[in-house]
Amino acid sequence: MPRCRLCGGRSNLFLSEHRLPLCKNCYPKWFLRITERTIEKWKMFNKNEKVLVAVSGGKDSVALWYSLSKLGYNTSAVHIVISETEYSLKSENFVKEISNIIKSPYHIIRIKNELGKDIDEISKELKREHCSLCSIIKRRLLNKFAFENNYDVVVTGHNLDDETASLLGNVLRWDLKYLLNQMPVLEKKDNFVKKAKPFIRFTDKEIKLFSQIEKLPFIDERCPFSKGAHSILYKEVFERIEKEMPPSKWTFYSNFVKKIHKILLNSKEKEENLNKCKICNYPSSKETCSFCRIKEKLTIKN
Ligand code: AMP
Ligand code: ZN
C-alpha cells in the first residue's frame, strides 16, 4: 500500500499528473502549497498587492478565491453577469455564498448595463457564436474595472485542462497572436492590467476534489451558451491522450511555455501586436480592436 508523501500515513489518492500518492487529509495542504509555489515561481503577485479575482461561480474561480484568501492574499472579486437566464442567477448566488464564507467583498458587472444587451441578444444580433463574443467582452470589462479601481493584478481560474485545450486549438490554427498571449502571467502594459493564472498546475479533477473536500459552493453545470464549443472537444481529445501517455498535458503546456514562447517573442507577430485601437487606445493588431468593433456594430444597428 503506497504511503502519503506528506504524512506517511495510508494514501487513498494517487495524482497521476504529479505521480504523487496522498491522503485526503493532506490533499488541501498540498493544493494550497502548489498554488503558493506557482504564484511565487511566476512572480504573479505578493501579499501587499491588490488582487482582483474574476469569479464566475464555477468550481475553478470559487476555489481560487477561497485558496488565495486562505493563503492570506489581499483579494476581492468581480463577477460578470452575462445574461438574464437562470444559470446566471444561480452563478451570482454562488459568488455571494463564497463571499460570505471567506468574508471578502465582490463587485457585479452586468453586460446588459455596459452594452445595452445581454450576451444572448448580442449573439443573435451580430449572428456570431456566444463563446468568442463572451470572452472578448468579459476580458475587456474585467480589465477596465481593474484599471479604474487600481488593482495590481487580475487572476482567473484557468487550469491545466483549459490551457492545454486552448493551446491545442491555437496550434491547430497556428494562431500566433493567441499563442503569444497564452502565458501564466501577462505583464502590465499601459492601460492593460497584469493578468495571472495561479491554477495552471491543476487539472479539472484536482480542483473539483479540493472543492469537495473543502465543501465549497459552486455551480456544477455548463454555461447554456457553450453548447458545441470547440474547447469541449479539445478537452475530450486530451483526456484520451493523457490516459495513454501521462503526463501529456503538463509536458505539452510546460514545453510551450519554456521553449516555444521564447521563439514567438522574437517573431514579427510580436511587432503586429504593438498597434493601438483608434477608438479606445488598447493594444490591437487591427485599426479598431475586437471589443470596439462589437460596440460599433451594435450601435449601427440600434
Ligand atoms: P471560462 O472561460 O468560462 O472557462 O472561464 C475562465 C475563467 O474566467 C474563470 O475561471 C474565471 O476566473 C473567469 N470568468 C469566466 N466567466 C466569468 C464571469 N462571468 N465573471 C467573472 N469571471 C469569469
Ligand atoms: Zn478599441
Tell me which fold the domain 28-219+231-269 belongs to.
Rossmann fold (3.40.50)
pLDDT digits (tens, 9 = 90+) for 254-269: 999 999 888 888 876 6
Place of cell 463577477: 79
Identify the pLDDT of residue 99: 97
Question: Measuring from each residue's beta carbon to the nearest atom of ligand 1, which residues come in under 6 Å?
Answer: 54-56, 60-61, 78-80, 82, 138, 156-158, 162
Q: Which residues surround ligand 2, an ion (CB under 5 A)?
A: 277, 279-280, 289, 292
Span 9-27, mean pLDDT? 92
Among all bound ligands, the one having the nearest atom to the CA of 295 is: 2
Q: Whose CA is nearest to atom 1 of ligand 1?
A: 158
Q: Rounded to the nearest 10 degrees, how much is the dihedral formed by the CA atoms of 33, 39, 45, 51?
A: -70
Angle at 178 between CA 176 and CA 184, to 5 degrees: 115
- 3-state helix/strand/coil string of 139-166: HHHHHHHHHHCCCCEEECCCCHHHHHHH
pLDDT of residue 211 exceeding 90, the answer is: yes
Mutate to test the pocket of ligand 1, among 154, 156, 235 (most ligand atoms within 8 A of CB): 156
| Strand duo 185-186 + 153-155: pairing | unpaired
Nearest CA to ligand 1 atom 18: 56
What is the average pLDDT across 180-209?
Answer: 94
Nearest ligand to the CA atom of 110: 1
Question: What are the sequence ranges of the domains in the chain?
Answer: 28-219+231-269, 272-302
All three cell numbers of 24: 485526503
Question: Closest Cα partner for 54 from 76, 39, 85, 31?
Answer: 76
pLDDT at site 274: 67
Looking at residue 271, its pLDDT comes to: 60
The predicted-structure confidence for 28-77, as pLDDT tens digits, reads as follows 999 999 999 999 999 999 999 999 999 999 999 999 999 999 999 999 99
Q: Return the closest-CA partner of residue 67 out of 86, 39, 105.
A: 39
Please check the confidence at residue 270 and state whether its pLDDT lies above 70: no
My answer on whether omega of the bond before 247 falls inside 30° of 0, hence cis, is yes
What per-residue confidence (pLDDT) applies to 18? 86
pTM: 0.94
Looking at this protein, which amino acid is placed at residue 264? L
Q: Is the pLDDT of residue 302 over 60?
A: no
Q: What are 79's strand-pairing partners?
A: 108
pLDDT at 300: 59
Quick check: 63 and 207 in contact, CB under 8 A?
Answer: yes
* Nearest-angstrom CA–CA distance, 61 and 69: 12
pLDDT at 244: 92
Q: What is the pLDDT of residues 226-249, one digit of tens each?
A: 876 788 899 999 999 999 988 899
Distances (CA, A) of 224 to 88, 110, 133, 221, 298: 10, 17, 15, 8, 23
Helix (H, G, I), strand (E, B) or coil at 45: coil
Q: Rounded mean pLDDT of 195-208?
A: 97
Q: Is the pLDDT of residue 301 over 60?
A: no
Average pLDDT, the chain: 92
One-character DSSP codes across 87-114: HHHHHHHHHHHHHHHHT--EEEEEHHHH
| Segment 83-141, tens digit of pLDDT | 989 999 999 999 999 999 999 999 999 999 999 999 999 999 999 988 889 999 999 99
DSSP 4: P
CA–centroid distance, residue 52 to ligand 1 (Å) = 12
Distances (CA, A) of 200 to 18, 149, 297: 13, 26, 35
pLDDT at 62: 98
